[in-house]
Amino acid sequence: MDGSSGLSMDSNTRITGSVSPLTPGPEEVMRYRSPLVSRYASREMAFNFSDSKKFQTWRRLWLWLAQAERSLGLPITEEQIQEMEANLENIDFKMAAEEEKRLRHDVMAHVHTFAHCCPKAAPVIHLGATSCYVGDNTDLIVLRDGFDLLLPKLARVLNRLADFAEKYAEMPTLGFTHYQPAQLTTVGKRACLWLQDLCMDLRNLERARNELRFRGVKGTTGTQASFLQLFDGDHDKVEELDRMVTSMAGFKRAYIVTGQTYSRKVDVEVVSVLASLGATVHKICTDIRLLANLKELEEPFEKEQIGSSAMPYKRNPMRSERCCSLARHLMTLIMNPLQTASVQWFERTLDDSANRRICLAEAFLTADIILSTLQNISEGLVVYPKVIERRIRQELPFMATENIIMAMVKNGGNRQDCHERIRVLSQQAGAVVKQEGGDNDLIFRIQSDSYFAPIHAHLEQLLDPKSFIGRAPQQVLKFLKEEVIPLLSPYQSKMDVKMELEL
């Protein structure tokens, strides 16, 4: 699928690579505004779900329909086409609101508003169409364009974390299972666990985006009866009309069968991949928050940033916390389209309308925010090697006991005797750590025990952290080379965008 709606923000209002709150006017501060738009989301994504884009797209759809109908022989003049084309952006929103209040129908309100500034074209605007011709097709265009905004952002997050993983591919760090000290891994290998989930998300978003089809020109209950009547029973012309408008909108395919609406299972698929992305980001940012507590890793912290109003020393991971907070909201949104899809009676009901206005927009706006924030985090992650080394020294002696036993056996020792001696020394060292709050002194105890004299000279080698990380560095490089880099190839031209946060 390629192409676009042909709509963009005015060049004076476009911001690339930043997240900036929109400055409220006097009236706006007197009523609720969604923080998703007023505080967090990019202007590009906010515009994608704006009334301006929505109703301009409606007019484009009416134009495309008229153009296709004219080319297939209906009595529509070039003058009518030109009049419509000249007024695509000339929307009297006040008039449209008044018309909707009078008619209680948003599409007909805009038909009348468009007709008011296109008096010659008025007879052919919306010819043969139903409300969902503009409503559903616009939604599909907006969803597609929303994916096109998200995908480069997700690719940039992958790119930044891939650089981070490569840089720290060989740096040993304490691994955790059950949030208890486990065997060593590397800082880069841990980042690859994040990357693997994000790779799945990128493929899922690409699939959902590319599998979107156009509703097309289907009529009131999806049978195309009105268009068949317009073309005097010519099925080929009706099919060609559907194909032409689908192509004009930038889609390669339209759904062959629809009711009045496209299947609301489509919305389930769309929000599902975004909710899954939310789960990934929540996991990554939770890891970062835990590592910040351990003082091993920190997200960026501005020079004048305040962590706490009462505790000046604090450096709270507020960006990661924001991602977790919004990711939870994103994950919960999947329940809305699931329930909506399940209660669509026959060819359609209207209880899918009001909630879709909220749910679909919020899913994309929230995903946009968390990706922008995660990119900012990933561009400024700070690693503290000395803290990591200290934690390794605290736990490594226990992990090294098996290596020490094997080395003793190679030097003529008895495995069972050695195991018992180390068990006793380990419990003594553990008591020092847990009961006295001291450092792990197991190695000192081994060095002081003459039984282990045959390996005293080799203890430093046996305790080298890099001998405990297995193939982690090799796994990192292979994973980046074979999975991450190929996946990012289509986005190379969009990588050079640094993300700055203003809030």
Mind listing the pLDDT tens digit for each residue in 150-177? 999 999 999 999 999 999 999 999 999 9
Residues of the chain with CATH 1.10.40: 401-462
- Collapsing DSSP states into helix, strand and coil, what is residue 485? helix
Whether 450 is a known active-site residue: answer no
Torsion angle (degrees, nearest 10) of CA 287, 290, 292, 298:
10
pLDDT digits (tens, 9 = 90+) for 470-502: 999 999 999 999 999 999 999 999 999 999 887
Say how far apart CA 454 and CA 412 lie, in whole Å: 9
Residues of the chain with CATH 1.10.275.10: 33-129
Per mean pLDDT, which range of 115-119, 300-304, 439-443 is the poorest?
Answer: 300-304
pLDDT score at 15: 37
Residues of the chain with CATH 1.20.200.10: 132-215+258-303+311-384+482-495
Q: Fill in the DSSP letter of residue 22.
A: P
Q: Write out the H or E segment, with its range, that includes residue 183.
A: strand 180-186
Torsion angle (degrees, nearest 10) of CA 243, 121, 128, 250:
20
Q: What is the CATH number of domain 132-215+258-303+311-384+482-495?
A: 1.20.200.10
Task: List C-alpha distances in Å: 464 to 336, 378, 400, 414, 443.
Answer: 53, 29, 9, 24, 13
pLDDT score at 316: 86
Residue pair 22/503 in contact (Cβ under 8 Å)? The answer is no
Q: Confidence band (pLDDT; 50, 70, 90) for 313? A: very low
Whether 34 is a known active-site residue: answer no
Q: Write out the H or E segment, with its range, that includes residue 81.
A: helix 78-86
What is the DSSP annotation of 101-165? HHHS-HHHHHHHHHHHH-TTTGGGTTTT--HHHHHHHHHHHHHHHHHHHHHHHHHHHHHHHHHHH
Residue pair 462/400 in contact (Cβ under 8 Å)? The answer is yes
The active-site residue, picked from 11, 178, 450, 493, is 178
| Residue 20: pLDDT over 70 | no
pLDDT score at 22: 52
| Residue 377: pLDDT over 50 | yes
| Residue 403: pLDDT over 90 | no
Residue pair 130/136 in contact (Cβ under 8 Å)? The answer is no
pLDDT score at 87: 97
Say how far apart CA 224 and CA 258 lie, in whole Å: 10
| Residue 362: pLDDT over 90 | yes
Residue 378: which region, alpha, beta or left (left: phi > 0; alpha: psi -120 to 50)? alpha
pLDDT digits (tens, 9 = 90+) for 174-230: 999 999 988 999 999 999 999 999 999 999 999 999 999 999 999 999 999 999 999
Handedness of CA 151, 280, 157, 490 (dihedral sign): negative
Question: What value does the mean pLDDT of the chain take?
Answer: 92
Of 56, 45, 43, 53, which Cα lies nearest the Cα of 11? 43
Q: What is the CATH number of domain 401-462?
A: 1.10.40
The active-site residue, picked from 4, 71, 308, 325, is 308
Say how far apart CA 222 and CA 347 lie, in whole Å: 8
Q: What is the CATH number of domain 33-129?
A: 1.10.275.10
Burial call 334-369: b when 16+ CB within 10 Å, e when fewer: bebbeebbeebeeebeeebeeebeebbbbbbbbbbb
